[in-house]
Chains A and B, each alone.
Chain A
Amino acid sequence: MLSIGKPQIKLLEKLCNAMSVSGDEGEVRRIVLEEVKPYADEVKVDALGSVLVRKKGAGKKPLRVLLDAHMDEVGFMIVNDEGEGFFQFEVVGGIDARHLVGKQIIVGKEHTVGVIGAKPIHLTTGEERQYTIETDAMRIDLGPEGKANVGDRATFATKFKQVGPSIMSKSIDDRIGVAILIELLKHAPKNIELCLAFSVQEEIGLRGAKVAAHYFEPDLAIAVDSTPARDLPDYDGGENFTYNTKLGFGPAIYMANSSTLDDPRLVRFLAEMAEKEKIQYQFRQPGGGGTNAGAIQQTRAGVPVVSVSVPHRYTHSPISISRVDDWKNTLNLLHMALKNMTFDLLAGRYT
């Protein structure tokens, strides 16, 4: 079994604390390039900025497997300098505006710290406090002499933390996938040709993976991402039927979401592999959401795909929470799956 020790935690921390808002993934790209170069047979940065990595397998034409994890995160772009350190911003990707007021933000390449303030409670009315403060009424405040440029990216300032069995970060989605891909490259099995796409612009429409998959032309692909766990209590004490996934229940295997119907052969294979290796896993509740599998599936003449995700709570907020054990089990399920893959996997009936 591969383990999650200090070096793996340290790398994830570095990846999570980097700023990599969709369209400006340079910070994570630099970390990825540094990590993969010693282990890869081919490394390239494509036209959109994704990092594409190949590790050749044994034999003349081994099964070509693409693993994808996106490097980008949701965040903000500075759109207007109003002077005296106040900046108007727009949201990049899906962020609930209710997560923004009262938060520290980092801005630009220097990670200049700013805040999104709110009117003091003393000056609000009870009625006013029932309404959401909309993004266009907010400003990023960098202090009276604060400087930033229109076009600068910004994101939540919260730093990675390890707490008990959990990790907490602004960008577990999908740095945890990036970390898993790097670890798998370091332990790449010989039976397959392993292709890795560290893709850009997932959060704004699955853009990077689309062209990355075209380049690799894989036999099959797995999107390695992080999916929401909504396993919170029901306020009235009823059962929570719509948890999507649960923390501590292992990797979440997808069957259907709004962008893909996952290949049943791959779903079955992963579940059987988990049972055989006694790795805890769960099926993500079907429906909603989307991963890069949706973009990869429809490239060229079609690619059999499946998504596997590490669950996290509080998606696209200043602090998401995942369990280290789920990370470890996801890594090992994928590792065992890669080691045991053959062309026979795709020879079976589609359904």
Chain B
Amino acid sequence: MSDILPFLKSIISVAGLSGYEAPVATLIEQKWTPLVDEISRSKLGSIHGLKTGSVSAKASRPSVLIATHMDAIGLMVSRIVDGFLYVTNIGGVDSRVLPGTPVIVHASGNGAQELYGVVVMPPANLLPEGKGAGAVALQYLLIDIGYTPNEVAKRVRIGDRVAFGTEPVEMSGGCVSGHTLDNRASVAALTICLEELQAKSHVWDVWALASVQEEETFAGAFTSTYQIRPTIAIALDMTFGKGTGSNDYTAFPIGKGITLGIGPSMHPFLHKRFKEVAERVEIPVKDEAMPQYSSTDADAMQLTAEGIPTMVISIPLRYMHTPVELVALKDIQRAGRLLAEFVASLEADFINKIAWD
């Protein structure tokens, strides 16, 4: 198995907020191109990589779509006052993780530079009565990029994206910490899956999808699934890792395996096949209860066209949506391998076997 760490580090070190995925998409496309037979971009910017299966009649060849969203949460400049930037959120951001967080402003004004800055919390007496005590809400936080007000006005525009600036770091136990591991760790796992499939025969077509805008609207998953119209679809995303603040049933230990979703977004027959494959190749998996929504691309894919059987598999991640997410590389490799084994297990008439109790 190849060392995925350099690729993972590279894709969490570039921009790619929801709706503005182009920089990271370029890297993913480069990486996938030699691993697939066809590669293209959707109208909204998602990447579609096709690795063709070995069933001869093209018209009837069944296909499995594996979706990993490539967009990231972050911030967007909403106004500029005296050289300070006010921001709003793109995706779910708890404002309590922001004061003191390094950020990269993707400035579109003069020079169109990436500007380093920090989110700051104004003193209470500069905020409306009562707003400076306790957690300071996002609307009151500022970004300082170290330039004078004149220079800031020239360089930064309203609407400019702001990404977390925390640098990726390797940690003990084969772990990596950084921002945007949700969901670039899954992109890395899907890459491993494609690498594994180079040496495996599979009868089904495989569509590798790096989808856009999952964190806001699932726009990428809805539209790409419609365009590709796969026989079945799988979302690979992150789930909660056990750690500070989350230790109940919703969280799973990191480095100890991946999870298989159970609930209305998942077709039980696909869950069953994943479990059988995992047992056969000895990849540790746990069932993850998702009683209503999976909150992944699967929720969208399932509802595309006349409906598509979907499945969700997840990699545990500590401190999701903070600048210091933490994942075990082992789990990324497991997810990639399990996907490859699942794909290889799909017989030509698998879809005819999908049955309800």
Q: Taking beta carbons and an 8 Å cutoff, which residues of A are in contact with B?
A: 85-86, 96, 98-104, 113-124, 129-133, 137-139, 141-147, 156-158, 161, 163-166, 168, 230, 232-236, 240, 242, 248, 313-314, 317-319, 321
Contact = CB atoms under 8 A, between A and B. Distances in A.
Given A144-B328, A233-B126, A103 B100 contact: yes
B329 to A, nearest CB: 11
A124 B319 CA distance: 12
Contacts of B116: 161, 163, 168
B173 A85 contact: yes
Contacts of B131: 235
A132 B100 contact: no
Contacts of B240: 120, 122-123
Interface stretch (B15-23, B64-72, B90-98, B203-211): B90-98
Given A123-B250, A317-B99, A318-B100, A102 B319 contact: yes
A242 B250 CA distance: 46
Contact of A104 (B81, B118, B177): B177
A125 B144 CA distance: 29
A147 B324 CA distance: 19
Interface string B309-336: 0000000001111111010100000000
Given A99-B99, A117-B324, A314-B120, A122 B92 contact: yes
Given A102-B97, A233-B81, A163 B146 contact: yes
A143 B120 contact: no
Interface in B103-126: 115-118, 120-123, 125-126
A121 B250 CA distance: 13
B305 interface: no
Contacts of B5: none
Given A123-B250, A318-B100, A318-B101, A117 B319 contact: yes
B283 interface: no
A308 B145 CA distance: 26
Main secondary structure of the interface of A (DSSP, over half): loop
Interface of B: 81-82, 84, 92-102, 115-118, 120-123, 125-128, 131, 134-137, 140, 142, 144-148, 151, 166-167, 169, 171-173, 175, 177, 240, 243-246, 250, 254-255, 295, 318-324, 326, 328
Nearest to B117: A163
Nearest to A159: B167
Contacts of B173: 85, 143-146
9 contacts: A102-B98, A115-B177, A118-B94, A118-B245, A118-B319, A120-B246, A124-B94, A141-B243, A146-B172
A195 to B, nearest CB: 35
Given A141-B243, A242-B125, A319-B100, A118 B322 contact: yes
A97 B151 CA distance: 32
B318 A117 contact: yes
A236 B201 CA distance: 65
A127 B324 CA distance: 23
Nearest to A139: B244
Contacts of A141: 243-244, 318, 326
A163 B102 contact: no
Contacts of B175: 143-144
A145 B329 CA distance: 14
A242 B319 contact: no
B319 A321 contact: no
Nearest to A231: B82
B295 A122 contact: yes
B121 A98 contact: yes
Contacts of A233: 81-82, 84, 122, 126, 142
A156 B101 CA distance: 11
Nearest first, the 10 closest Cβ-Cβ pairs linking A and B are: A119-B245, A102-B97, A143-B171, A166-B146, A144-B173, A117-B319, A143-B172, A115-B324, A120-B320, A318-B100
A101 to B, nearest CB: 5
Interface centre among A117, A139, A166 (most CB of B within 10 A): A117
Contacts of B123: 230, 232, 242
A53 B31 CA distance: 58
B296 to A, nearest CB: 12
Nearest to A101: B97
Contacts of A236: 128
B138 to A, nearest CB: 10
B126 A232 contact: yes
Contacts of B82: 232-233
Contact of A163 (B120, B147, B326): B147
A104 B146 CA distance: 21
A120 B319 contact: yes
